[in-house]
Amino acid sequence: MNWLAIRAIYSVEMARFFRTIWQSLASPVLSTVLYFVVFGAAIGGRIQSVEGIAYGAFIVPGLIMLTVLQQSVSNASFGIYFPKFIGTIYEILSAPASFLEIVAGYVGAAATKAVLIALVILVTSFFFVGVHIAHPFWMVAFLILTAVSFSLLGFLIGIWAKNFEQLQIIPLMVITPLVFLGGAFYSASMLPPFWAGVARLNPVLYLISGFRWSFFDLADVPVGVSLFAVALFLLAGLFAVWAIFRTGWRLRG
């Protein structure tokens, strides 16, 4: 394993993050504060609790997952797309580094950024609601696994995209709607039976459910199923990246 190559890519990506710290960190936190004001105060005044959990606290895991998914995808996709855009991708491909080392550098940096922002949002939530974490270890595990899995997805989007418009279309048109429909602000048990069944077709529901369980011991689906879903995302992403580097699809030529 070429740790020097991993560290070089990781350091460059993290340096870019800290150069734009206000844009990278302040914007997601401000958006979360607005969610707390709108959903926690306005809607929370009408929905006092969900399955015994105060509504303001109930939405915290969903807000964190919303941010993690968005930031993981956007950071990883831009991280690999920009070298393609300016032509330096060929220097990376010709370097003595395997696809695992290249992916570890870009995906590791994107996941780190997403986790850092998620932790800041978690701390911010303490100023608005009382949040108790029932299973801290599993909270961190779900957070890291989800960040890595969707950073892999973002990496794939960055390779697939031919322009900046394509770079944004999947996060805006697919990821964000799936999060909103995946129980970020409600429990699937609140839905009628038919729509509860439809909601279970949404893969993001399993991620949010497992993460919320780590906070409140409350889940829409069994925790084992949530862990399996995260592992499946991770393995599928790794396989897809391996196939792309093996064939050179949209990397060479």
Q: Is the pLDDT of residue 44 over 90?
A: no
pTM of this prediction? 0.91
Tens of pLDDT, residues 129-183:
888 899 999 999 999 999 999 999 999 999 999 888 889 888 888 888 898 888 8
Residue 179 lies in a domain: yes
The DSSP code for 26 is: I
Residue 253 lies in a domain: no
Q: At 83, which amino acid appears?
A: P
E-only strand ranges, 35-162: 49-50, 53-54
Tally the domains of the chain.
1
Residue 223 lies in a domain: yes
Residue 252 lies in a domain: no
- 3-state secondary structure at position 53: strand
User: Domain containing 8: what range?
Assistant: 3-247
